[in-house]
Amino acid sequence: MKQNIVRMAALCAACLAAWVCPAQDYSDQPYTSGEKLTVDTAEVECLYRYTAADTVLGEMREACTLLQVGREWTKFTSYEAYWTDSVLWRSDWKMTGREFSRHKPPTRDFYSDSYLRRTADNAYEVQGMIFMDFYVYTDRAPLPAWTLTADTATVCGYLCRKATARFRGRQWEAWYTEELPVDAGPWKLCGLPGLILRASTPDGLLSFEAQSVRRGGAYSVMQEVPSSHAQRISRADVLKLERYAALEHDEYMSARIELLYSANGDGFPKRTFYQPLELE
């Protein structure tokens, strides 16, 4: 694989150092990141390194992501989004763009989706963005049909057991710890008798690995009220849009921008990075 890696090795090191998002607005106007609702209090938070590889482009990408586990809700999102909320919350949501710009984000991630899960019925509200399209959808996801094994490993300092399942078109191997007996994990991976600290596909294309766990606190789980610009569509339509926007990227962009420009004057590339978590 060529070394065109959108890598953030300092990524999780920087995240761990701060557990405290980006600043682009230097004005004296109030800085906002959308209306937020507090839906639960997280008793466990886990920071993951998320990696995805596109073998066609020979490219790998990494992101720093965060899982918050409350009694009724869990939330999985980019660490950058969490960091933004944390900075604004500490100022009682009263911070100007200029004040916010003084804070340095630990990462700038390619990952932008947010998954709010109601644990009682495994119902999700998912918000995200595909290039120029903001979307929101609901998903009543089935729990993965895990097969438990006797294999053990230590992940992030916790003794873990291995489980395998096929979920949404991919085969997954997950390592969970009964030392943290919560039904939760990265993305939509859950349904085991302990927190999932590592999960990957056997082909090596996708992986999540815990970098740090903190527990016993009282951290607000906040969900953003969907923007008026977001389209409420189905999960199936999101998968189609994600594929189209990546594999027919030049056509996708030309339908949205009248004039095409790029650094070399050749317009947008035919294809961009594509390695979705869900295939079906």
* Distance from C-alpha of 246 to C-alpha of 243, rounded to nearest angstrom: 5
Residue 30 C-beta-side C-alpha neighbours within 13 Å: 8
pTM of the entire predicted model: 0.79
At 186-195, the pLDDT tens digits run 999 999 999 9
3-state secondary structure of 112: coil
Mean pLDDT along residues 173-199:
98
Residue in this structure with the two tokens 């919350």, named with its chain if needed: 89
Distance of CA 258 to the CA centre of its chain: 31
Higher-confidence position of 72 and 219: 72
Residue 133 has pLDDT above 70, yes or no: yes
* Distance from C-alpha of 201 to C-alpha of 244, rounded to nearest angstrom: 23
**147-156, 169-178, 215-224: the lowest-pLDDT one:** 215-224
At 22-79, the pLDDT tens digits run 444 446 665 555 666 788 888 999 999 999 999 999 999 998 899 999 999 999 998 7
